[in-house]
Amino acid sequence: MAAYFSIVLAALTIVSGGIWLTDTILFKPKRKMTLKLAESTKKLTDEAKELIIREPYIVETAHSIFPVIAAVFVLRSFLYEPFQIPSPSMMPTLLNGDFILVEKYAYGLKDPIWRTQLIETGKPSYGDAIVFKYPVDPKIDYIKRVIGLPGDTIIYRNKQLFIQKACLKNATNSSECPKLELIRHTELDKGEFSEQGMPMLRFEEQIFGMKHDILINPRRPEMAQSYYKQQGTNVSEFVVPEENYFVMGDNRDHSSDSRFWGFVPEDNVVGKAVMIWISFEFNRDEKDFLPKWLPTGIRLNRIGKIN
């Protein structure tokens, strides 16, 4: 949907700008010349002058909407784009009903239609919450957290995360490569969040100094049998290819992520989620007179920077 909107917005910008520019270069000078000739033969009223030089309706419309559409197009394509969180996969960091801003220039400027890299400004880092085109269906936008960078080895087993950073390019043997590290987490609370009546555990996790909170459902079994099987690796083990990233949801037992469908190509990355600009509650049930998509409240305490 976001891709289609970008195409429509780009088309409106080009068409309205083209109409305005064509009129400015070709037809506006002709109207001024007509007015000058008319004034040389007789005295004209202000109303008559206005009729001669007035822009056609389509030009007037294009003149009015082009600056607004162009500003929205530039803002949305190269600076910030709004997204809505539609699922609980990033709880507790992001809740269903959060509306976030994604920094489009964080990892490079791309053209909004073909997504060709124009200028490189950076790369995703450990712990970044990124929006990307779902590799299985690029028409869908996903948001997850970066867990592994190109060349890293990721192991997720018994709900424990291990990361071995990629070897440096000048390493001469495996003994010079980083060791496999257990990513430790500290329990914060139990019961604030639940799934089907089951209380979930909340932890603070640190991935090489980057802190964020995660949720684990202790009663839900690990779905290792459904994990993505990478050739040459064991079950629950993943080696991140070059120009790809390994991502996971913060709600570890309720997230479709790299564990199940593989890696995120660098070209699919849209930007970095940086802040919640508004957050709505949706608590209507089927018996409610009003439609379920209408919010029942605003969570003002959630507005702010995303960790």
Does the annotation count 144 as an active-site position? yes
CA–CA distance, 273 with 5 (Å, rounded to integer) = 19
Cis peptide before 86 (omega within 30 of 0): no
Please, which residues have CB within 8 angstroms of residue 101's CB and are 6 or more apart in sequence?
Answer: 80, 81, 82, 83, 273, 274, 275, 277
9's enclosing H/E stretch is: helix 2-22
Q: What distance lies between CA 84 and its chain's CA centroid?
A: 9
CA distances from 67 to 24, 71, 177 (A): 15, 6, 54
The dihedral sign for the CA sequence 144, 258, 238, 226: positive
Q: Which of 89, 255, 258, 279 is catalytic?
A: 89
Find tokens 């073909």 and name the residue: 114
CA–CA distance, 72 with 268 (Å, rounded to integer) = 22
Contact 119, 108 (CB under 8 A): yes
Nearest Cα to Cα of residue 95 among 272, 255, 280, 287: 280
CA–CA distance, 129 with 273 (Å, rounded to integer) = 6
Find tokens 């070709």 and name the residue: 26
* DSSP helix, strand, coil percent of the chain (3-state; round to 5): 30, 30, 40
Q: Which of 104, 110, 144, 272 is catalytic?
A: 144
The secondary structure of residue 55, as a DSSP letter, is P
Contact 239, 256 (CB under 8 A): no
CA–CA distance, 302 with 121 (Å, rounded to integer) = 29
Residues recognised as catalytic: 89, 144
